[in-house]
Each structure stands twice: as C-alpha cells, then as structure tokens.
C-alpha cells in the first residue's frame, strides 16, 4: 500500500524551499513548545534600529535545519559515514538548539531568571519532549550537549563555524539590510570535510571563511552591538527588574499569568522544575509588550518612564568610548536627574548607568577553524590567510558605554 506521508515543504526568503525530512521532525515543529518560537524575535529590539528585523527564532531554526541537511549531503558525498539515525539526531539538535530563548531573546536571562541561560532551558525542553517522543531524542540530546563521541557532529551544532552561525549571520543581514553579514554559507558548507573526526574546510573555501569572520565582526559592531539596540535592551532589562522590585514591595501590577509567575518568584536553576518550564513555555514577546503598554500608565516614575521610552522609542542617549566613563561624569548626570524630577539616587540609577561591550570574532584557543590543504596538511585559518587583519580578529575589542536621559533645561 502506498505511503500517505506527504512531503512537507516551507518557503524561506533566504534559501527558497526548505524540506521537512520526516514525520518526527514535523511533529517536533508542530509542538506548542516549538511553535512558541514564532513569537520570539530573533534580534530582540533591533527593529527599533532596523525596521525590517522582525524575523523570529522559528525562521532561524528552520534555516539551520536546511543548512544541516546540506552539510550531511556534502559530507556523505565525500565519504564520511553518517547513519540515518545520526542524520536525524543532527537535524533535531540544530532544530531545537534555540528553543529555550525567552522574550526578546537575551534580555530575559538578565532579569526574570537568575543564572539560567537559554542553552540550559533548551536542554530542559529537549529532555521534556524526549519523554513525550518515546526517548527518540536521546541521540540528539547527546550531540547537543557535546558528549557524542563523533566530535565533528558536535562541531556542526556548536563551534566557531556551526550551522547556527552560518544561518543567523546571513538571515540577520537579509532582514536588517546590513549587507556586511551576507556570507556565502552554502559555499562554506560545500567546502566542509572531516579529518580525524574534526570538521575542516577545504583550501578552496578559504576566502569564504575570511568573509564569514569579517562579516561576523562587522555584524556585531553594526547590528548586534549597535548603540540604539544596546540601550533598548538595557532599558528592557531594567523594566523587568523594576517590575519585580515593585511587586516585591506589594504594588499591584497587571501582567499575563506566565509573566507574573517570573516577576513574583525568584527562579534559579534549582527552581526550574516541570511546572516552571511549563510557565516558561507560555511566555513570549507579546507578554512583555502588552505589560509595558499597561505599565506606561503606572504611578511609579521609574517604571512608567522606562516603558514609555521603549514603546514610543524615546530612548536614553548613549555614548560609546574606548575608556570607561568616570564616576564624576555619572554622578553629575545622576544629580541633575534627581534634582529635575525630585527622585532618589536609586531611582536615577535606572536611567543613568554605564557598562561594557566586547567583540571577539574568532577565538583561537578552542575549536579552531582548520583549513585542509591539497597535500593533506591542516592549519588554522589565521596562519594560512593572506588577509592581513584576520589575526586582529583574534583579539577582544572592548568598548564602554554610558547611558543617560536627554535632559532639557
């Protein structure tokens, strides 16, 4: 009897048609935990700078699956043995690698939960779904955790040139319009190979790898660490911290049940049980936006102003310098604000603050990007590149920012 399984294809603006290879992967995509990613923005509040950057984690995860399928095909063609079970595990691991992201991607990790990063929550989701899917995600979890014995498979999921980076740079470049990140991810994948269980790039792909590293550096400065995105994310973190503080003092704030759960409770890794995970799975960007629209009218000076700044894009002024701003400068700004609005030093600290940002395009001490020469020799990309500034990309560049309100006299 003929199989009733229909081929599932999705249209993607970056790669064209993406094929969902089997029923299990399709069921994972259909699961409410995964569908939530449609409501989590891939680039946080970057749309306040780049109006097109409204794409979601859902988009990105599917793009990663497409690239992983291509990588498996290329490696098999070159004689690398990958079983069907391993292939499915690779696709599931990359599909679910970001499932633990909270509202606006990274802001949540610094405000609503304590010391619980999105990778940890992704793993909790995967383990929960593994129980639902009759333990069929076990191998995917091992690869995701980096504990599978075939090292190159772990590298395809998480390394300095994994499928995650190859998709998000190209995708974020497309949606933001910042062309510097438009890397040739499919060309890089075509050049992949495996030697001694390590992922390598054949010599012909060297310029594509150089473009990838330079593109990554430029995307960080121009997009991910753009000063307006930076200040917006800092304000969002402070909104959630302030709301938590006010609720702790007995103030009556309105928010969705799931957001309220994280505002009322201190949530650490130890507290993250099945009930907490279920609450987290109900949380997305919409909870935070609708709460801020309410809180704009709060009688708390700090909360209402922070929310208004984000909702109406009336953000703080931000200066980025090579040196840390002096305590005197901060104090001067803070004092002016306290005087103008008759607020306390603590309240002023929500609007006047400093911090640092760092950009490291290529970390040399682990998971090097290795180039395979025609004679079989293997070298780190930095050693073989004639691109004079590639070595500079191995240094961390740190800059300091200072944020304060645009105070009019």
Q: pLDDT digits over 303-357, tens only? A: 999 999 999 999 999 999 999 999 999 999 999 999 999 999 999 999 999 999 9
274 pLDDT exceeds 80? yes
Query: ∠ CA(17), CA(19), CA(22), 5° rounding?
Result: 170
Q: Where do we find the tokens 């990778």? A: 119
| CA distance from start to end of the chain | 81
Find the mean pLDDT for residues 246-268.
Answer: 94
391 pLDDT exceeds 60? yes
Residue 278, C-beta contacts closer than 8 angstroms, at least 6 positions apart: none
Exposed e or buried b per residue across 352-381, where buried means at least 16 C-beta atoms within 10 angstroms of its C-beta: bbbeebebebbebeebbbbbbeeeeeeeeb
Q: Using CA atoms, how far apart are residues 384 and 341, in angstroms rounded to an integer?
A: 59
Q: Using CA atoms, how far apart are residues 401 and 48, in angstroms rounded to an integer?
A: 19
Residue 282, C-beta contacts closer than 8 angstroms, at least 6 positions apart: 36, 256, 257, 258
What are the sequence ranges of the domains in the chain? Answer: 1-310
pLDDT of residue 109: 74
φ and ψ at residue 275, rounded to 5 degrees: -65, -40
pLDDT of residue 365: 66
Of 113-127, 197-211, 217-231, 358-372, the least confident: 358-372
What value does the mean pLDDT of the chain take? 92
Q: Nearest Cα to 213, choosing from 392, 404, 17, 13?
A: 392
Residues 196, 199, 205, 211, Cα dihedral to 10° = -140
Residues in the chain: 409
**Six-digit token string for 252:** 């009556």
Find the mean pLDDT for residues 219-240.
Answer: 94
Q: Using CA atoms, how far apart are residues 185 and 163, in angstroms rounded to an integer?
A: 9
Q: 13 burial class (0-12, 13-18, 19+ CB within 10 angstroms)?
A: exposed
Where is pLDDT greater, at 234 or 383? 234
221 pLDDT exceeds 50? yes
Of 60-74, 123-137, 187-201, 352-366, the least confident: 352-366
Q: Using CA atoms, how far apart are residues 355 and 362, in angstroms rounded to an integer?
A: 23
Q: Using CA atoms, how far apart are residues 201 and 190, in angstroms rounded to an integer?
A: 9
Q: Using CA atoms, how far apart are residues 342 and 302, in angstroms rounded to an integer?
A: 12
Q: Using CA atoms, how far apart are residues 143 and 150, in angstroms rounded to an integer?
A: 9
Q: Using CA atoms, how far apart are residues 121 and 109, in angstroms rounded to an integer?
A: 10
Q: Using CA atoms, how far apart are residues 350 and 128, in angstroms rounded to an integer?
A: 38
pLDDT tens, residue by residue, 355-377: 999 888 888 766 789 999 999 99
1 pLDDT exceeds 50? no
Superfamily of domain 1-310: Hypothetical protein af1432 (1.10.3210.10)
Q: Where are the alpha helices (DSSP H) in 31-162?
A: 32-35, 57-77, 84-95, 118-132, 138-145, 151-157
pLDDT tens, residue by residue, 118-176: 899 999 999 999 999 999 999 999 999 999 999 999 999 999 999 999 999 999 999 99
4 pLDDT exceeds 60? no
Give the number of other Cβ atoms within 10 Å of residue 188's Cβ.
20
**Six-digit token string for 322:** 């090579």
Find the mean pLDDT for residues 22-51.
Answer: 95
409 pLDDT exceeds 50? no
Q: Using CA atoms, how far apart are residues 216 and 44, in angstroms rounded to an integer?
A: 18
Q: Nearest Cα to 189, choosing from 58, 74, 332, 325?
A: 74
Q: What is the pTM of this model?
A: 0.94
Q: Sheet containing 192-195: give its strands across.
A: 192-195, 198-202, 370-372, 378-380
Q: Using CA atoms, how far apart are residues 45 and 368, in angstroms rounded to an integer?
A: 32
Q: Using CA atoms, how far apart are residues 168 and 181, in angstroms rounded to an integer?
A: 9
């Amino acid at each position: 009897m003929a199989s009733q399984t229909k081929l599932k294809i999705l249209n993607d603006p970056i790669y064209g048609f993406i094929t969902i290879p089997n029923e299990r992967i399709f069921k994972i995509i259909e699961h409410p935990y995964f569908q939530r990613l449609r409501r989590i923005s891939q680039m946080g509040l970057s749309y306040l700078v780049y109006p097109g950057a409204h794409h979601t984690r859902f988009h990105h995860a599917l793009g990663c699956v497409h690239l992983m399928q291509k990588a498996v095909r290329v490696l098999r063609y070159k004689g690398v043995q990958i079983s069907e079970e391993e292939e499915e595990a690779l696709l599931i691991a990359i599909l679910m690698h970001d499932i633990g992201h909270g509202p606006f991607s990274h802001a949540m990790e610094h405000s609503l939960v304590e010391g619980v990063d999105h990778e940890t929550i992704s793993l909790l989701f995967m383990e929960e779904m593994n129980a639902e899917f009759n333990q069929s995600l076990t191998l995917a979890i091992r690869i995701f955790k980096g504990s599978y014995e075939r090292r190159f498979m772990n590298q395809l999921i998480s390394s300095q040139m994994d499928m995650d980076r190859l998709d998000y740079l190209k995708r974020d470049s497309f949606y933001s319009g910042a062309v510097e990140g438009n890397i040739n991810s499919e060309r890089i994948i075509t050049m992949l190979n495996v030697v001694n269980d390590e992922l390598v790039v054949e010599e012909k792909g060297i310029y594509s790898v150089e473009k990838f590293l330079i593109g990554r550096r430029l995307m960080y400065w121009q997009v991910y660490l753009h000063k307006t995105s930076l200040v917006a994310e800092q304000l969002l973190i402070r909104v959630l911290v302030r709301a938590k503080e006010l609720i702790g003092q007995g103030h009556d704030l309105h928010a969705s049940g799931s957001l309220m759960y994280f505002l009322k409770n201190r949530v650490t890794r130890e507290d993250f049980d099945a009930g907490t995970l279920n609450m987290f799975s109900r949380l997305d960007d919409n909870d935070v936006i609708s709460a801020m629209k309410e809180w704009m009218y709060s009688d708390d000076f700090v909360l209402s102003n922070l929310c208004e700044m984000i909702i109406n894009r009336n953000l703080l002024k931000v200066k980025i310098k090579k040196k840390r701003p002096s305590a005197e400068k901060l104090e001067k700004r803070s004092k002016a604000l306290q005087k103008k609005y008759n607020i306390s030093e603590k309240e002023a600290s929500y609007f006047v603050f400093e911090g640092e940002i760092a950009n490291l395009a290529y970390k040399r001490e682990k998971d090097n990007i290795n180039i395979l020469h025609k004679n079989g020799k293997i070298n780190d990309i930095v050693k073989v590149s004639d691109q004079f500034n590639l070595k500079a990309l191995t240094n961390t560049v740190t800059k300091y920012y200072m944020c304060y309100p645009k105070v009019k006299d």
